[in-house]
Structure 1
Amino acid sequence: MRKKIIHSFMITFLISFFLAFGILYAVLYMVFLENQRDEQFQELGIIETLHQADMESLGEYLNELDSRMTIIEKDGDVIYDNQVDSITENHMQREEIQQALQYGQGSSIRYSSTTHTNYLYTAIMNEEMQEIYRLAIPFVGITQSAFVLMPSFIVAFFVALCTVWFMSKKMATSIVEPFQKISSTIWTTRIGKEKIVFDDSYYPELSEITESIVNMNEEIHDNLEQLEKEKGIRQEFFANASHELKTPLTSIMGYTELLRTHAIQDPAQVDRCLDHVIKESRHMTQLINDILMISKLESEDYQVQFTHVKVKDVLKALIERFHVQIDSMNIDLTLDCEDIVVYANRNHIETIFENLISNAIKYNVYDGTIRIDCHVKDQEMVFSVKDTGIGVSKADQERIFQRFYRVDKQRSKVISGTGLGLSIVKHLVQFYDGRIQLQSEEEKGTTITLFLPIVVKNVPEN
C-alpha cells in the first residue's frame, strides 16, 4: 500500500508539473509574441515617418539588424525589399497584407520560402502613399530563452521531484501506519473471545472502520455465546431424548421378552403388558413427531392445508382427552370460549392448545385451578391459559420458549417431556404472524396468552 501511495503521488506530480509547464510555456509564448509585435509596429511607425528619407540607407541599417523590410503596393506588387533585389510574386494574398488593407495594420507568423526562415511579419498601411510597409524578423518564439533556462529548469525539476518523493513517502507512512496498528491489534486479539481496543485515530474514516470492527467483534462474541448456549441446550436435549427413548424402549423390550418366553399365561396380565407396550410406543411416536414438527416449521418451503376450525369444539375435545389427568390432580378447570372460527391448519391449532393445557396440568399443584379464555379482540383471537402451578422464575422466563429447554430440572425427571412443547407453540404462533406473552411468578402460577390474526367472520356453508 505504501508503494502504491508513493507511486500515485509521483505520477500526480509529473502530470501536474508538465501540465503547468505547458501552460506556462504557452502564456510566455503569447506574451513574447505580443511584445514583439508591439515593437515591430513601433518600428514601422518610425519607418512610415521616414518614408521620404534615403530608403537604401534605411534598408541597409535594418539588414544589419537582421530585419527585412518590404514596401508593397495596394495591388500586391513588391516595389522594394532590402534583402532581395527583385520579387515578382504578388503579395496580395498574404495574411498580414490583407489585415493591413482592411484594418490599417496586420501581422502573421509564416515560413518564408525565399529566405527559408520562420518570420514574424507586421504590416501597416500608409494612406498617403497608398503603400504598405512590412517588417519581418526571424521568429523562434521563446525557444532560445528556453535553452538558456533549461539547466535551471532541470535543477528545479529534480529538486521538486525529490521533495515530492520525500513528502509522499512520509505521508504514505503516516497513512499506512494506522492500518498496520489496526492489523496488528486484530491479529493479537482472539476475535469473538476477547474485547478489541484500538488507539484513537486522527482520521475520521479510520475511526469508522475501527468502530465497525469493534461492533463486529461484539456481534461475533454474542453469536459464539449463543452457539455455546444452544450447544448446551442440545446436549441436554439429547440426554433427555435419549432417556425418554431409552426408557420406553427398555419397557417395550422387557414386556415383549416376557410375552415371547410365555412367562406370563394369565390373559389379564398379557393385556396389561400389551397396554404398556402401546403406551410407550405412543410416547416415542410423540417425541419423534415433536422433533419433526419443529423441523418442518423452520423450513422456508413448509406448506400446510388450511381449513375453517371451530375453536370451542377443539377445546372441548382436548379437555375431554385430559379428563383423567385433571381428575387425578383434583384440578378445577374453567373454560370461557366464544364461538370463534379461525382459518388455519386444524392440527396446528390442536397442537397449540394441547401443549399449553398439558403444561398447565403437569406443572400445576394438587387441588389447583386452570382457567382457559378465548375471545376476539381487534380482529385477533386472544387465547390464554392461566394455572396455579409452580410458576417460572425470572431467569427461566427468558429461555422457556427455547427448543429443548425445561424448567425445574428435578421435577422434569419425574414429569415426562422433552422441552419441545412451548418451542413448538412459539414456532406455530410465529408461523401465523402472531404474538405470545408470558406472565409468571414462582409458587403462584403462570399465564400464557396468544394473539393470532386468523379469525374468520363469514364462514362458508361448504
Structure 2
Amino acid sequence: MRNKIIRSFLIIFSLSFVIGFGILYGVLYDVSLNQQTSILNDELSIIVQTNFEESQQIGEELFDKDTRLTMISSDGEVLYDNFDDSINENHLQREEIKEASKNGTGSSVRYSETMEQNYLYVAEYDAQEQTYVRLAMPFSGVSQSALMLLPSFFIAFVIAFFFVWLMSKRMADSILKPLQEISAVIRKADFGKEKIEFQNYSYSELQEITDALQTMNNQIAKNLENLEREKQIRQEFFTNASHELKTPLTSIRGYSELLRQHAITDPDQIDHCLDCVLKESDHMTKLINDILTISKLEAKDYVVQKSHIKLKDLLENVLNSLSVQAKAMNLDIDASCENVTVYANLDHIQGILYNLISNAIKYNKPNGKIIIIIKERLDNILIKVMDTGIGISKEDQEKVFQRFYRVDKQRSKIVAGTGIGLAIVKHIVQFYNGSISLKSKENEGTSIEISLPIMVNEEPNNLD
C-alpha cells in the first residue's frame, strides 16, 4: 500500500508536469504567432500603400531579411514573388487569400513546399490595384526556444520529482503508521472481553475507524454478556423444569407403587391415591403446556389464529373459573370492564387474564381485595389488576417475569403454581408489541398494568 501511494503521487505529478508544459507551450505558441502576425500586418500595410514598382524594391530588401513578398492578381495568378519568379500555381485557394477575399485581411500557418519549411502567411487585398499583397516569414512557433529550454526543463523535472517522491513517502508513512498501530491493537485485543483503547489521530477518517472498532467491541461485549445471561437462564430453566416435572412424577410413581403392591385395601384410600395421581398428572400437563406456549411465542414464524373477542364476556368466564379460590380466601373482587372488542388469539388473552387474576388471588391476604380494570385508552386496550396481597420486594420485582421464579419461597411450597405464569404473560405482551409494568410494595399489594394495540374500532355485527 505504501508503494502504491508513492507511485500514485509520482504518476499524478508527472502527468501534471507534462500537461502543464503542454499548456505553457500552447500559450507561448499563440503569443509568438500573434506577435509575428502583428509585425507582418504592420509591414504589409506599408507595402499596400505603395505602387507595384516600389513594392518590388521593398521585396528585394525583404529578401535579405528572409521575408517573402508575393503579389497575386484577383484571379489567383502570381504577379511577383521575391523568392521565386517561376510560380505558375493558382493561389486563390490559399487560406490567407480566401480569408483576405472575405474580410480584407487573412493569415495562416502551413508548410511551404517551395521553401520546404513552415511559414506564417499574412495577406491583404488592395482594392485600388485589385491585387492581393502577401507577406510570409519562416515560423517555427516556440519549438526552437523549447529545445533550448528542454535541458532546464529536464533538470527542473528531476528536482521536482525528487521532492514529490520525498513528500509522498513522508505522507504515506504518516498515513500508514496509524493504520499499523490500529492493526497492532486489533491483533492483541480480545474483543468483547477487554476494553480497547486507541490514540487520538489527526485524520478524521482514522478517528471514525477507531470509534467504530470501539463501538463494535462494546457491542460484542454486550452480546457476550447477553449470551452468558441467556445461558444461565436456560440452565436455570432446565434445572427448574426438571425439578417441577420430577415432583409430580415422584408422587405419581409413589401412589402407583402403593396401588400396584396392593398395600392399600381401603376403597376410600384407593380413591384418594387415584385423585392424587390425576391431580399431579394435571399439574404436569399444565406445566408442559405452559412451556410449549412460551416456546411457540418465542418462535419468529409462530402463526396464531385470531378472532374478535368480547373482553367483558371473557372476563366473566375467567372470574367464574376462579370463584372457588377467591371465596376460599373471602376476597372482594371489584371488576370494571368496558364493552370493547379486540382482535387477537383467544387463548392468549384468556391466559393474560387468568394468570394475573390467579396470582392476585394466590398471593393475596385473607379478606383482601382485588381490583380489575379493562378499558380503552387511545388505540390500545388497558388491562390493570391490583391486589392487597403480600407484595413483592424491589429485589424480586425484576425477576418475577422469569420462568419458574417464585417470590415467596416458603409460601410457594404451600401455594400451587409453576412459577411460569408471569413469564407467559410477558411473552404474550411482547408478541403483540404491547407493554407491561409492575408496581408493588411489600405487605401492601401489587399492581400490574398491560397495554395492547389490539383494539377493534368497529365491533363486528356477527359476534355472539
TM-score by length of 2: 0.88
Partner of 1:359: 359
Q: Distance in 1 between matches of 2:351 and 2:368?
A: 23
* CA–CA distance in structure 1, aligned partners of residues 375 and 104 of structure 2: 107
Moved more, 147-156 or 311-320: 311-320
Helix, strand or coil for the counterpart of 1:220? helix
Corresponding residue for 1:460?
462
Q: 1:192: how far off?
A: 2.3
Partner of 2:172: 172
CA contact under 8 A between 2:308 and 2:463: conserved in structure 1? no
Quote the offset at 1:433 in angstroms.
Answer: 4.4
Could you tell me how far 1:189 is from its partner in structure 2? 3.3
Structure 1: distance between partners of 2:348 and 2:132? 111
For 2:385 and 2:2, locate their aligned partners in 1 and report how far apart those are by CA, in whole Å.
68
Task: Quickly say closer, same or farther: Cα 1:46–1:247, change in 2 above 3 A.
Answer: same
Structure 1: distance between partners of 2:44 and 2:312: 120
Q: Using a 3 Å threshold, how does the CA distance of structure 1 residues 286 and 461 change in structure 2: closer, same or farther?
A: closer
Which residue of structure 2 lines up, in the alignment, with residue 271 of structure 1?
271
Shift of 1:66: 3.2
Quick check: 70-79 or 41-50, which moved more? 41-50
Aligned mates of 1:235, 1:30 — CA distance in 2: 88
Q: Within the alignment, does 1:338 sit opposite 2:337 as a pair? A: yes
C-alpha separation between the residues in 1 aligned to 2:341 and 2:101? 104
Contact 2:192 2:218 (C-alpha < 8 Å) held by counterparts: yes
Distance 2:5 2:267 in 1: 94
Q: CA deviation at 1:243?
A: 0.4
Question: Which residues in structure 2 correspond to 1:278-289 (within 5 Å)?
Answer: 278-289=278-289
Deviation at 1:281, TM superposition (A): 1.6
Cα separation, 2, equivalents of 1:448 and 1:55 = 119
Change (3 A) 1:401 1:437: same
1:429 match: 429
TM-score (norm 1): 0.88
Equivalent position amino acid for 2:447 in 1:
T
Distance change (3 Å), C-alpha of 1:402 and 1:22: farther
CA distance in 2, matches of 1:179, 1:225: 30
- Aligned counterparts of 1:363 and 1:130: Cα–Cα separation in 2: 127
Paired with 1:120 and 1:80, the residues of 2 have a C-alpha distance of 18
Aligned to 1:85, the other structure's residue is in SS state: coil
Letter aligned with residue 88 of structure 1: N
**Are the structure 2 counterparts of residues 384 and 57 from structure 1 closer, same or farther at C-alpha, using a change threshold of 3 Å?**
closer
Structure 2 SS opposite 1:22 = helix
Structure 2 distance, partners of 1:376, 1:120, is 98
Which AA in structure 2 matches 1:132?
A: Y
Q: Secondary structure at the match of 1:123?
A: strand
Pairing 1:388–2:385 present: no
Which of 399-408 and 237-246 deviates more? 399-408
The change in CA–CA distance for 1:413 and 1:151 in structure 2 (over 3 A counts) is farther
Q: Sort the Cα spacing of 1:288 and 1:166 in 2 relative to 1 into closer, same or farther, 3 A.
A: same
Deviation at 1:304, TM superposition (A): 2.8
For structure 1, the 5+ residue unaligned runs are none
What letter matches 2:341 in structure 1? V
Instruction: Kindly indicate whether residue 180 of structure 2 is the aligned counterpart of residue 203 of structure 1.
Output: no
- CA change 1:263–1:182 in 2 (3 A) is same
- Which string of whole-angstrom CA distances, capped at 9 and with x for unpartnered residues, describes residues 217-267 of structure 1? 333333322222222222112111110011112222222233333333333
Question: Match of 1:166, SS?
Answer: helix
CA contact (8 A) 2:351 2:425 kept: yes
**Is the deviation greater in 237-246 or in 10-19?**
10-19
- For 1:35, the equivalent position in structure 2 comes to 35
Q: Which runs of 5+ in 2 are unaligned?
A: none
Give 1:299 shift: 2.9
Query: Any residues of structure 2 matched to 1:307-346 within 5 Å, and which?
Result: 307-328=307-328, 330-338=329-337, 340-343=339-342, 344-346=344-346
CA distance in 2, matches of 1:247, 1:421: 18
Query: How far 1:446 moved relative to its partner?
Result: 0.6
Q: Return the letter of the residue paired with 1:195.
A: K
| Cα contact 1:340–1:376 (8 A) shared by 2 | no
1:250 counterpart SS class: helix
Between the aligned partners of 1:90 and 1:63, the Cα distance in structure 2 is 22
Judge conservation of contact 2:340–2:375 (CA < 8 Å) in 1: no
Distance 1:321 1:48, change over 3 A: closer
How far the C-alpha of 1:414 sits from its partner, in A, is 5.6
Confirm whether residue 243 of structure 1 aligns to residue 239 of structure 2.
Answer: no
Superposed CA deviations along residues 191-228 of structure 1, whole A, max 9, x for unmatched, are 22323333223233333333333333333333322222
- What residue is the counterpart of 2:18 in the other structure? 18
Q: Over aligned residues, Cα RMSD in angstroms?
A: 2.9
CA pair 129-158 structure 1, distance change in 2 beyond 3 A: same
Looking at structure 2, the residues matched to 127 and 285 of structure 1 have their Cα atoms a distance apart, in angstroms, of: 123
List aligned pairs for 1:122-271, cutoff 5 A: 122-271=122-271
AA partner of residue 212 (structure 1): A
| Stretch of structure 1 that moved more, 121-130 or 229-238 | 121-130
Give how far 1:145 is off.
1.6
Q: What percentage of aligned pairs have identical amino acids?
A: 54
**Matched residue type, 2:462:** P
- Supply the distance in 2 between the matched residues of 1:156 and 1:420 (Cα, whole angstroms): 85
1:76 CA displacement: 1.9
After superposition, the C-alpha distances for 1:40-81 in whole angstroms (9 at most, x for unaligned) are: 223334545665667776555544443332222233211222
Residues 391 and 217 (structure 1), Cα distance of their counterparts in 2 relative to 1, 3 Å cut? farther
